Structure 1
Amino acid sequence: MDFNQNKIEASVIISTYNAVAWLEKVIWGFNCQTVSNFEIVIADDGSGLETKAKIAELQKIVKFPIVHVWHEDDGFQKTKILNKAILASSADYLIFTDGDCVPRKDFIAAHFANRAVDTFLSGGYFKLPMSVSELITKSDIDNQNCFDLNWLNANGFTTNSKSIKLTKSAFLAALMNKITPTKATWNGHNASCYKKDILAVNGFNEEMKYGGEDRELGERLFNKGLTAKQIRYSAICIHLDHARGYVSDEIWKKNNDIRAFTKANKVIATPNGINSNSL
C-alpha cells in the first residue's frame, strides 16, 4: 500500500463516556497499528476528570495525535458529540469506532486497503465477556494475544461459531466478506468513508438517542448514492463488555420512526445534524 507518511490520511473518531479503563485499552490498540499516518479524535459525551487526565497522559506517549472533543454531560448525546468530532477532524477520510473496541494491529490498514469513492466500509466486532475483557493488559494488546483464540480460550473464552471473525488468513477473510449473509450497514463501532460524504448528509441526526442512530446515518448515505462494502472479517476489533443503562423502549420507537421516515422519503441530509446545533 502506498501511503504518505507525512500526511494524516485518516481521522479515527472514537466515542466514549466515563469508561476510562476501556478507552485506555483501545488507545493502546491504535498505538500498535501497522500504519502511523492517522490521528485520533475522541468524541467524549461528557466524561469526568478521570478521562480527561488519562487522555492528557496518553497524548504524551502514543505515536499519533489525539484530539479530545468534549461537551458537558446532558444524558446520552452521542450524535451531538460525534458531529463535533467530525468538525474537529483534519483528514479527508474518517474511521468510526467506539471506546470499548480494541483494534487489531491491521485495523486501519484494512480500512485503507478497501476505501473507495462513493463507498462506505462496514465492519463488525468480536464480543468478549466481562471476565476476559477485564483480564486484557497493555502487554496482551502489544503482543496481540487478545486476538488469538488459543489465548482467549486459555483465559475463559469459549469458542463459538463467530470465532472465525478472528481469522488471520487474508484469503479466508475475503471469502467470508463475500459470502456472509450479514448486510453491509453503517456500524458505528467499525465503519468508514470519505469526510465529504458525511458532511453531505449533514452528519448524525442529533434528535436520535441510543438505538439505530448509526444505521440511520448509513441509510442516508445509501440515499445519497453510496454503496457499502463488507469488511467485517478484515478490519478486526474486539468488543469489551459493559452495561447499557441508557436503553429505552420509548427511545427505540422514536428512533425507528425517524428511520422509517428517512427510508420512505429518501432523506439525504438530516435537518438536525452538523449544521443545526454543532457549529
Structure 2
Amino acid sequence: MKASVIMSTYNAEEWLEKVIWGFSVQTEQDFEIIIADDGSGPATRELIDRLRKQIPMALVHVWQEDNGFQKTQILNKAIVAAKSDYLIFTDGDCIPRNDFVAVHLAHAREGYFLSGGYFKLPMATSLAISKDDILAQRCFDVAWLKQHGLAAKKLGKLTAKGFKAKWLNFITPTKASWNGHNASAFKKELVAVNGFNTKMQYGGEDRELGERLFNKGIKSRQIRYSAICIHLDHARGYVSDEAWENNNTIREYTRKNKVVRTLTGIEEL
C-alpha cells in the first residue's frame, strides 16, 4: 500500500461515518484506514464492522480501554499497526476532499513532513452533510455550504487550486507545524523520535511531535491550501487548564533541550 491513513476517534459515530465515506471516494485508493479509538463504546465497533463491508480499502480498528484522554497512546498503537511506509494523520471529525490522499502522496519527500490545515464548519452545516453530499463532493462546494448555514468569508482553503494553491502555500504566514488533523510523514521518522509523548493530553501534543522531528533535522512542507478537509463542529469536554500547563512545560523542555526522542512513547507501550 502507498499509505496508511490514521484517524483518532472517541464515541462520535455520526462524524466518524462521514469521514470514512470521505476516504472511500479518494482518487487514490491504494491505502488502508486505521481508526485510532481512544476507548469508544460498542457502537463505534459496530459502525466499523458495517462499513468494512461497504468501502474498497482495508479498515483497521485499533482500540484501547477508556482511561481518560489518551490520544497520544492510541496514536502510537496505530503507528505500530500501520502496514505502509507512509502515514497520513487526520481526525475522525475531518471529512477529506477526494484528492486528499493523492495530494499528500504527491508532496511526500524524504527528510520532510507535510503540514495541512482544515476549514471549520458550524454545527448546522456539519449536521446537514449527508452521505450523498460527501460522495458527490457537494460538501466542498461553497455555494452548497452557504445554503446550509456557512457564513464564513475567508474561503481560500476551499477554493484555491493549481498555481493559486501553491502560491498561497508559499506566502501563508502560518507556520508549517505538525497538525494532527492534517499531517503526514514517513513511518520510520515517527518511530525514530519514539512517536507521540504519552505524558501529554489535549493541547499542543501534536505540535510537540513536530518539534522533535525538527530537532532530528526533519523539515516541514506547507500544503495548507492543497490538502483540503472540512472540520465538523463538536464540543470539547476534554480540555483542561492543567493539561495545557503540563503540555506547555513539556514543549518548552523539548525546544530548549533539542529533544529528539521522547522517553514515553512507542517503545513504552
Query: TM-score, normalized by length of structure 2?
Result: 0.99
Q: Is it true that 1:93 corresponds to 2:83 in the alignment?
A: no
Q: Does 1:40 align with 2:33?
A: yes
- Correspondence for 2:192: 200
Partner of 1:11: 4
More deviation in 205-214 or 165-174? 165-174
Does residue 1:74 correspond to 2:67, yes or no? Answer: yes
Aligned to 1:128: 121
Q: Deviation string for 1:50-70 (max 9, x for gaps)?
A: 000000000111010011000
Task: Render the CA deviation track for 1:213-248: whole Å, top value 9, x for unaligned.
Answer: 000000000000010000010000000000000111
User: Aligned Cα RMSD in Å?
Assistant: 0.6
C-alpha deviations, 1:151-204, integer Å up to 9, x for none? 00111111312x110025211110100000000000000000000000000000
Shift of 1:120: 0.2
- Matched with 1:271 is 263
Runs (4+) off by over 2 Å: none
Q: Distance in 2 between matches of 1:254 and 1:123?
A: 26
Q: What is the alpha-carbon distance in structure 2 between the residues aligned to residue 136 and residue 193 of structure 1?
A: 30
1:215 is aligned to 207
- CA distance in 1 between counterparts of 2:177 and 2:49 reads 34
**Residue aligned with 2:226, SS:** coil
CA distance in 2, matches of 1:168, 1:140: 20
- What is the CA deviation profile of residues 121-159 of structure 1, one whole-angstrom value per residue up to 9, with x for unaligned ones? 000000000000000000000110000101001111113
1:46 alignment partner, SS class: coil
Residues 59-87 of structure 1, C-alpha deviation per residue, up to 9 Å, x if partnerless?
11101001100011000000000000000
Residue pairs, 1:19-58, within 5 angstroms: 19-58=12-51
Letter matched to residue 211 of structure 1:
G
1:102 aligns with 2:104: no
Aligned partners of 1:159, 1:151: CA distance in 2, in Å? Answer: 13
Asked if the contact 2:161–2:226 (Cα under 8 Å) also holds between the matched residues in 1, the reply is no
Q: Is the 8 A contact 1:205 1:213 kept in 2?
A: yes
How far apart, in 2, do the equivalents of 1:110 and 1:173 lie? 12
Q: Give the Cα–Cα distance (whole angstroms) in 2 for the partners of residues 151 and 209 of structure 1.
A: 36
In 1, Cα distance between equivalents of 2:204 and 2:121: 22
Letter in 1 for 2:181: H
Secondary structure at the counterpart of residue 8 of structure 2: strand
Percent of residue pairs bearing the same amino acid type:
63
Normalising by the residue count of structure 1, what TM-score does the alignment of the two structures yield? 0.96
Does the CA contact (< 8 Å) of 1:149 and 1:159 recur in 2? no
CA distance in 2, matches of 1:244, 1:81: 18
Does 1:147 pair with 2:124? no
Does residue 1:230 correspond to 2:222, yes or no? yes
Question: Match of 1:4?
Answer: none
Instruction: Note the residue ranges of structure 1 that are not aligned, 5 or more in a row.
Output: 1-7
Which residue is equivalent to 1:243?
235
